[in-house]
Structure formats: C-alpha cells, structure tokens
C-alpha cells in the first residue's frame, strides 16, 4: 500500500521549532480550529463538512425493515465509512489499515453507542417493522483530523434528515411520500462531538485540529467525545506517549469549550437551511398560484 510521504528532516525541525515557539504554519493558535464550513444538500440528510482542506460528506437514508429478534421494540441504526484513494494515496479500496479501523470504531462509539439517536422511536410495529437508519460517511480529502470532521458531518446529517411519515390501519402499514405528508425529523437525544488533540513527549505542546503534517510529527494523541452538557461519551487513547493527569484535565476543559462552539455552529447552519427551504417553498407556492 502506498504510504503517506513523511516530512523531510528540515520540514520536521522547522515545524517542531515553530510549535515550541507557540506558532503554527497556517498562523493559528495552538488551541484553534481551522475554518469550519458546513453545507446541506437539496435532499434531507446530506451534510458536506470542510475542516481546512479536510473534506467529509455524510448521507443519511432510511428504509423499512424487520427489527432484530432480540430487540423487537427498537429500530436499527448503522454507520458505514468509506476511505479510498480519493481522500489520500495511502488508502486502498477494500483493504483497511489499522488507522482506518480505529477511525470507524471511534465514530461508531461516539455516535451510535452513545445513543445519540433514539432507536425506540424508529419502531413501527413491534417485532415486525421498523426503520433502519443508515449513515454513509465518505472521505473526499485527508489533511488531518478526519475523526472530528466525520463526527460533525454525521451528527449534522442526522439532525437535518427527515423520514417519511407512516400510518397504520389494522395490520396495514402505509409509508407516505414527502409530498403527501410532512416528513418527520429523527429523535436526537443529544449531540456528541469529537475533539482530538495531539502533543509531544514532554506534554509541553498540545495541538487542536492537527493538520496531516502535524499528525505525522506528534508523539501521542487523544480523542474525547462530549456533548454541550459536559457529558463524556468516550475517551480514546490509542497508543503514543502517556498523558499526565494535569495535561488530561487541561485537554478535557479545552474540549468542552470547543464542543459547545461547534454545537452552536451546527444549530445555526440548520436554522439557516430551514429558513432557506421555507422561503423557497413560499416562492414556489406563489408561482403556482400566479400560473392558475
């Protein structure tokens, strides 16, 4: 498998000296995110996230299936990730590396296992029919911090998604089209956000939202998933140098601040998209009335 090109010795020394001086190549503070952009598609459940040059698209879909026999009152929620050569030459189709497996597990634990989505609300007829909600995550460009970008994309797409309404008469289940009835939003219990940081062996430098070059030079990293209420969903420390308690406490406090900022940003973009859709629908209705 092709490997990511490692920085040269001169690049490595220059970047490390800059970081120890409190400066980054892109001019950010050590605890600052790159510019975050979030756009929604024309259809519900499509979120496009750009975190600097890192780009991730998440698409949420739903279909009616039979629930698992051991959970007859719950719907099904799955998350799939796709990493290929489009994101980086270091990825191959159909062959997962250890880093790719870790990435998929982090997103799974952060969102699905933290019960961000209320699966009981997906039940239609107990033991017979339920909604299967699926989030497909596509990585289009890798320039570091893919976990944070993917988590933002999935939670934004879940909040943006609308499923068709359902009616039940006797034993007959009818799924209504989007034009026939107003679609129904998913029941989101909380909004988990991943926040990853990396540091050096002496725990002197702590980086937020590392670029690909910075990820290649860090001695260790930790990913914390929290919501805006300060509830910790998961902590991942997959290798690297150990963190002392003081550094870990500092990183957790910083993560909480960033999580609240990102949660507010997602809510703002969702509100803007909803206002745009209402305005567009009003224009279409006015146009239809004029044509009559």
The pLDDT tens digits of the residues spanning 19-45 come to 888 889 899 998 899 999 999 999 999
Candidate ranges 87-91, 132-136, 218-222, 281-285; pick with highest mean pLDDT? 132-136
Q: What pLDDT digit, counting tens, does each position of 68-82 carry? A: 999 999 999 999 998
pLDDT of residue 266: 98
Query: Mean pLDDT throughout 233-241?
Result: 86
Cα–Cα distance for residue pair 66/126, rounded to 1 Å: 9
pLDDT band of 1, cuts 50, 70, 90: very low
Query: Mean pLDDT throughout 112-124?
Result: 95
CATH number, residue 15: 3.30.230.70
- Sequence-ordered list of residues with C-beta below 8 angstroms from that of 86, at least 6 positions apart, any chain: 139, 140, 141
In a domain, 4, yes or no: no
The domain tally of the chain equals 1
pLDDT of residue 282: 78
Query: Mean pLDDT throughout 102-126?
Result: 94
- Sequence-ordered list of residues with C-beta below 8 angstroms from that of 202, at least 6 positions apart, any chain: none
- State phi, psi for 275 to the nearest 5 degrees: -65, -40
Helix, strand or coil, per DSSP, at residue 105: helix
**CA end-to-end span of the chain:** 62
In a domain, 47, yes or no: yes
pLDDT of residue 139: 94
pLDDT band of 190, cuts 50, 70, 90: very high
In a domain, 224, yes or no: yes
pLDDT of residue 201: 67
pLDDT of residue 267: 98
- State phi, psi for 90 to the nearest 5 degrees: -75, -5
Query: Mean pLDDT throughout 215-227?
Result: 90
In a domain, 3, yes or no: no
Residue (of 118, 174, 149, 147) closest to 56 by Cα position: 149
pLDDT of residue 2: 42
Strands (E) in 100-156, as ranges, are 123-125, 129-141
In a domain, 1, yes or no: no
Residue (of 106, 117, 191) closest to 150 by Cα position: 106
In a domain, 2, yes or no: no
pLDDT of residue 99: 77
Q: What pLDDT digit, counting tens, does each position of 171-188 carry? A: 888 999 988 999 999 999
Q: Which residues pair with 135 in a beta bridge?
A: 60, 79
Which helix (H) or strand (E) segment is 162 a member of?
strand 162-163
In a domain, 229, yes or no: yes
In a domain, 283, yes or no: yes
Cα–Cα distance for residue pair 155/116, rounded to 1 Å: 8
Residue 177 lies in domain = 9-291
pLDDT of 202 strictly over 80: no
CB 230 within 8 A of CB 256: yes
Helix, strand or coil, per DSSP, at residue 138: strand
pLDDT of 84 strictly over 90: no
Burial 74-101 (b: 16+ CB within 10 A, else e): bbbbebebbbeeebbebbeeeeeeeebe
């Amino acid at each position: 498998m092709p490997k990511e090109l490692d920085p040269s010795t001169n690049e490595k020394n220059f970047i490390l000296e800059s970081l120890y001086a409190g400066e980054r190549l892109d001019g950010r503070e050590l605890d600052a995110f790159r510019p975050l952009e979030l756009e929604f598609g024309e259809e519900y459940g499509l979120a496009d996230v750009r975190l600097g040059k890192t780009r991730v698209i998440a698409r949420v879909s739903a279909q009616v299936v039979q629930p698992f026999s051991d959970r007859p009152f719950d719907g099904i929620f799955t998350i799939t990730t796709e990493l290929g050569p489009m994101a980086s030459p270091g990825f191959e189709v159909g062959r997962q590396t250890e880093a790719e497996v870790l990435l998929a597990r982090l997103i799974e634990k952060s969102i699905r296992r933290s019960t961000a989505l209320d699966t009981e609300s997906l039940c239609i007829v107990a033991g017979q029919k339920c909604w299967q909600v699926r989030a497909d995550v596509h990585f289009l460009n890798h320039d570091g911090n893919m976990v944070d970008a993917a988590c933002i994309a999935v939670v934004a797409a879940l909040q943006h998604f609308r499923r068709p309404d359902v009616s039940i008469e006797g034993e007959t289940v009818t799924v209504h089209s989007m034009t026939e009835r107003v679609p129904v939003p998913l029941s989101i219990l909380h909004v988990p956000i991943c926040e990853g940081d990396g540091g050096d062996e002496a725990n002197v430098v702590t980086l937020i939202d590392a670029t690909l070059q910075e990820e290649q030079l860090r001695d260790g990293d930790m990913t914390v998933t929290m919501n805006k209420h300060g509830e910790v969903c998961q902590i991942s420390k997959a290798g690297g140098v150990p963190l002392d308690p003081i550094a870990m406490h500092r990183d957790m406090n910083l993560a909480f601040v960033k999580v609240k900022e990102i949660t507010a940003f997602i809510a703002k973009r969702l509100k803007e998209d909803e206002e745009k859709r209402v305005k567009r629908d009003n224009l279409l209705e006015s146009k239809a009335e004029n044509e009559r």
